[in-house]
Amino acid sequence: MRRVLIIEDDADQREILAEFIRECGWEALLAADGESGLRTAQAAMPQVIFCDLLMHGLNGFQVCRSLRSDPAFRNTLIVVTSGRVFEADRLAAIESGADEYLQKPVPLDQIREVLGRIAESASPAPPAADDSSGITTMIRFWGVRGSIPTPGPGTVHFGGNTSCVEVRADGQIIILDAGTGLRALGRHLVEEFKDTSLPLNLLLSHTHWDHIQGLPYFAPLYRPHAHLRVFGYEGARSSLSTVLSSQMESPFFPVGLQDVPSHFEIEELRQMKFNLGRVQVDSWFANHPGICVGYRLTTTAGKVAFFPDNEPPTRQQQVRAAAGLPEEYSAAYAQSEEARLIGFLKGVDVLIMDAQYTPEEYTLHVGWGHGCVDDVVKLALAAEVGHLFLFHHDPDHHDDTLREIEARARHLVKDAGGRLEVQAAREGFQFVLPCRTAAR
Ligand SMILES: [Zn+2]
Ligand SMILES: [Zn+2]
């Protein structure tokens, strides 16, 4: 039987949670502190562990670290729960090895959602970096926000760090963008690999600040055993290496990029197709100011497409025409561009895409280079995508607003009779291909 372990020192909360979990058809095991929780985990090997953060004896961070240091729990989903809303706690929990951080009292529908993601015999945990079996591809979100980091109580659930996604596939660690989310990923990698060799690939969509700002704070940069290859396209005004070096020059930063102890290479791309080991990478120019691309990764376990910044040209053209603004391009051109992008995205398993605005907000931001949720859903449906993650959240969007946008997207899919799964991307969330989520 599927099993959940609840480690919680508050007896009432423990019982409420256990009762609900049993109603969902799972066995619920209980522990009142971290020490007994670890013993129960080892004896019962639950698929999911809910662990309170603040407990006497071992706290939630320590429990997470202890579990993750044991390979037997590599595939266990660990959810840390806490009444506190500090961003630092959430990040520390993720860095300690938790998959999720949920605020107490945890709404029961969130618990149902967590359980719903685990199929009978599967788990959503990542493969180790040296797992070259090629069976799974893991995607983990470290930064999902656009434009500027937005920490604070209003972004605790979805996160306030800017663009950064980790993909582990076919023995490769591929990092998509170097926004501020990169800092926590760096700490996680250093903890995981310690002093062993650490080969990393960083693919940059473009060099707007929200996509490169985390690089100076990426811990592996300062480790001699790390080997970081950075890929991207020449910027609109200067070379990729000039742009990346500039943000680390005095007076902006005390250590120059050329002085870091890691093996660091910048590869300015010319071609739109290349390979990272067995992963094929295809690039596509996005509709965004300057030189900006999206990437499609073809891995053994499935295809992942990443378009963090993109403005659908069709709506851009329609809104400008309706407002009587001069045409930047024709309706026919906009439609053909959209059709080409649909072709590029056809059948991808996971699409991570800019959905910064609601349709109402979009009309005030035409030509800013960002998308509207309705268009992204329409595009994903047309391309027969499996799972869509709404990305590059607006810095002014509160968690509640993002929940509304997510709900809107799901309604659009339902109204269209589609099978697309949609989620607003959330910091700390991870997803494994082949798809193991249960249908909602
Ligand atoms: Zn951006
Ligand atoms: Zn941008």
pLDDT digits (tens, 9 = 90+) for 24-56: 888 899 999 999 899 888 877 889 999 999 998
As given in the structure block, the two tokens for residue 17 are 């949670």
Predicted local distance difference test score (pLDDT) of residue 236:
59
- 80: Cβ contacts below 8 Å, ≥ 6 apart: 51, 52, 53, 60, 61, 64, 93, 96, 98, 100, 101, 102
pLDDT of residue 85: 79
Q: How far is the CA of 252 from the centre of ligand 2 (A)?
A: 20
> Helices (DSSP H) in 117-180: which residue ranges?
none
The residue to which tokens 């300057």 are assigned? 290
Question: Which ligand lies nearest the alpha carbon of 211?
Answer: 1
SS3 259: helix
Taking the centre of ligand 2 as the mean of its atom positions, its distance from the CA of residue 311, in whole angstroms, is 10
Helix (H, G, I), strand (E, B) or coil at 413: helix
Round to whole Å and give the CA distance between 319 and 87.
Answer: 38
412: its two tokens: 């659009």
What distance in Å separates the CA atoms of residue 314 and residue 129, rounded to the nearest whole number? 40
Could you tell me the pLDDT band of residue 132, with boundaries at 50, 70 and 90? very low
The token duo for 325 is: 């603004």
Alpha-carbon gap, residue 380 to 348, rounded angstroms: 9
Q: Tell me the per-residue pLDDT of 410-423, one tens digit each, with 9 for 90 and over.
A: 999 999 999 999 99
Are 277 and 170 a contacting pair, CB within 8 Å?
yes
Model pLDDT, residue 108 = 86
Q: What is the pLDDT of residue 119?
A: 52
List, for residues 106-119, the tens digit of each pLDDT value: 888 888 888 887 75
- Between residues 189 and 100, which one has the greater pLDDT? 189
Q: How many A from CA of 118 to the centre of ligand 1?
A: 32
**Which pLDDT score is estimated for 122?**
45
Sheet holding 263-268, edge to edge: 263-268, 226-232, 198-203, 172-176, 164-169, 137-143, 430-433
| Distance between Cα 310 and ligand 2 center (Å) | 8
CA of 392 to the centre of ligand 1 (A): 7
* Lowest-pLDDT range of 109-118, 183-192, 195-204: 109-118
Structure tokens at 128: 């180790």
Q: How far apart are CA 363 and CA 347, in angstroms?
A: 30
DSSP class of residue 363 equals T
For residues 298, 264, 224, 251, the Cα torsion angle rounded to the nearest 10 degrees is -130
Whether pLDDT at 215 is above 70: yes
Q: Which ligand is nearest to the Cα of residue 368, counting in written order?
A: 2
The domains of the chain, with CATH numbers, are 3-116 (3.40.50.2300), 137-433 (3.60.15.10)
Q: Measured in angstroms, how far is the CA atom of residue 390 from the centroid of ligand 2? A: 16
Find all residues with CB under 8 Å of 210, minimum gap 6, and list them: 145, 146, 147, 148, 162, 163, 179, 180
From ligand 1's centre to the CA of 211, what distance in Å? 6
The pLDDT of residue 166 is above 70: yes
Q: Which of 280, 188, 175 is nearest to 232 (CA)?
A: 175
Q: CB under 8 Å to 236, separation ≥6 — which residues? A: 289, 290, 291
pLDDT(70) > 50? yes
> Whole-angstrom Cα distance, residue 24 to residue 213?
43
Instruction: Say what the pLDDT of residue 426 is.
Output: 97
Tell me, what's the pLDDT at 5? 94
CA of 309 to the centre of ligand 1 (A): 5
Burial of 347 (0-12, 13-18, 19+ CB in 10 A): exposed
What average pLDDT is seen over the chain? Answer: 89
- Ligand 2: centre distance to CA 231 (Å): 17
* One-letter amino acid for residue 1 of the chain: M
Is the pTM here over 0.85, yes or no? no
Kindly report, residue by residue over 345-380, the tens digit of the pLDDT. Answer: 999 999 999 999 999 999 999 889 999 999 999 999
* DSSP E strand boundaries for 355-396: 387-391
Contact indicator for 78, 67 with CB cutoff of 8 Å: yes
pLDDT of residue 270: 86
CA dihedral 311→434→432→200, nearest 10 degrees, is: -80
| 80: helix, strand or coil | strand
C-alpha distances out from residue 305 to 75, 224, 353, 425, 431, Å = 24, 31, 8, 14, 14
Distance from the alpha carbon of residue 309 to the mean position of ligand 2, in angstroms: 6
Pairing of strands 172-176, 164-169: antiparallel
- Which amino acid is residue 3, in one-letter code? R
d(CA 232, CA 206) in angstroms, rounded, equals: 7
315, two tokens: 């709506």
